[in-house]
């Protein structure tokens, strides 16, 4: 079987900042003797990633001597800004700017946060670098044990104006969460976020509404400050401050973030711990 980590054409590696995508990057570097000239690595920061995630992205670049482009959404003609570890947003600024532009909150049905905060800024950077052309591969860190996400990603469509192929080397190679965790157990650095059954609960946006309520409850109980921004966004929507009342909750059928914070403060757990997260483009 051909090495799925071998790059033979223009490729963008979508680096989420988690252990899985970092492992994918490491395998690419091993298979290609470094990062090929026609390949780039992009980390899209929403402003709601944990500080540990930002340090991990920085450390991957330093330990492996690989350039990682940090980008953030901007509501301007360019659509993105290049940042770094020191200048990256840490209080949800890009996410909030997008919500105020859209005038409503994203939700499980209309998940514009993923497309507008990550995918579109990445495309615009690739366009400016003259890499956004037919034949570009988008390498995404989704494992073989994430079957629903694998199916969703393989059936996904990009812009009609350009053909971009989603490439899932981890899935092709049969890599599971056990392989990833075993790898990081032997490394001199790691993502310093708590794992549960091998998965990083606080990965990607800290309290993403696609995470089950029980998972968000645990995260708020661990760090109550995590809920502050999400509560403020829902409260602003509820009173019509810069966003309409049509989108006053991130999840209409689930608990509000204020309720989750209240349950966490009272150590009340009323949620289903077997509920799975909704799959999306964001990887670990």
Nearest to 117 by CA among 133, 139, 93: 93
Nearest to 28 by CA among 44, 40, 46: 40
Instruction: Please list, in sequence order, all residues whose beta carbon lies within 8 angstroms of the beta carbon of residue 139, skipping any fewer than 6 positions away.
Output: 11, 12, 13, 14, 24, 28, 167, 168, 169
Q: Where in the chain is the domain with CATH 3.40.50.620?
A: 11-194
Q: How many CB atoms lie within 10 A of CB 27?
A: 20
Residue 153 has pLDDT above 90, yes or no: no
* Percent of the chain predicted with pLDDT > 70: 86
Q: How far is CA 144 from CA 55, 149, 210, 215, in A?
A: 27, 9, 21, 23
- Total-model pTM: 0.89
CATH homologous superfamily of 11-194 equals: HUPs (3.40.50.620)
Residue 199 has pLDDT above 60, yes or no: yes
pLDDT of residue 273: 45
Residue 155 has pLDDT above 70, yes or no: no
Conformational region of residue 34, where left means phi above 0, alpha means psi within -120 to 50, and beta covers everything else: left
Nearest to 46 by CA among 108, 106, 128: 106
pLDDT-based confidence at residue 243 (cuts at 50, 70, 90): low
pLDDT of residue 160: 43
């Amino acid at each position: 079987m051909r090495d799925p980590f071998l790059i033979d054409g223009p490729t963008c590696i979508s680096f989420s900042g988690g252990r899985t995508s970092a492992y994918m990057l490491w395998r690419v570097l091993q298979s290609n003797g470094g990062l090929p000239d026609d390949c780039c690595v992009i980390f899209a920061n929403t402003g709601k990633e944990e500080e540990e995630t930002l340090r991990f992205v920085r450390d991957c670049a330093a330990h492996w001597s690989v350039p990682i482009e940090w980008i953030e959404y901007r509501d301007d003609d360019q659509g993105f800004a290049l940042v770094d570890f020191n200048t990256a947003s840490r209080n949800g600024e890009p996410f909030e700017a997008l919500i105020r532009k859209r005038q409503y909150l994203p939700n499980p049905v209309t998940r514009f946060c993923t497309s507008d905060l990550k995918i579109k800024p990445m495309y615009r950077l690739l366009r400016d670098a003259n890499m956004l052309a037919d034949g570009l591969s988008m390498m995404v860190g989704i494992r073989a044990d994430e079957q629903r996400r694998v199916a969703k990603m393989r059936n996904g469509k990009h812009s009609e104006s350009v053909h971009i192929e989603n490439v899932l080397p981890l899935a092709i190679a049969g890599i599971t969460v056990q392989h990833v965790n075993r790898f990081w157990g032997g490394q001199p650095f790691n993502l310093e976020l708590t794992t549960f059954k091998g998965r990083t609960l606080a990965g990607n946006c800290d309290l993403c509404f696609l995470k089950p309520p029980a998972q968000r409850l645990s995260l708020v109980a661990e760090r109550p400050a995590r809920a502050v921004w999400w509560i403020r966004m829902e409260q602003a929507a509820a009173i019509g401050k810069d966003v309409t009342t049509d989108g006053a909750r991130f999840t209409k059928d689930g608990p509000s973030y204020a309720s989750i914070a209240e349950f966490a403060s009272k150590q009340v757990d009323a949620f289903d711990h077997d509920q799975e997260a909704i799959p999306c483009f964001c990887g670990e």
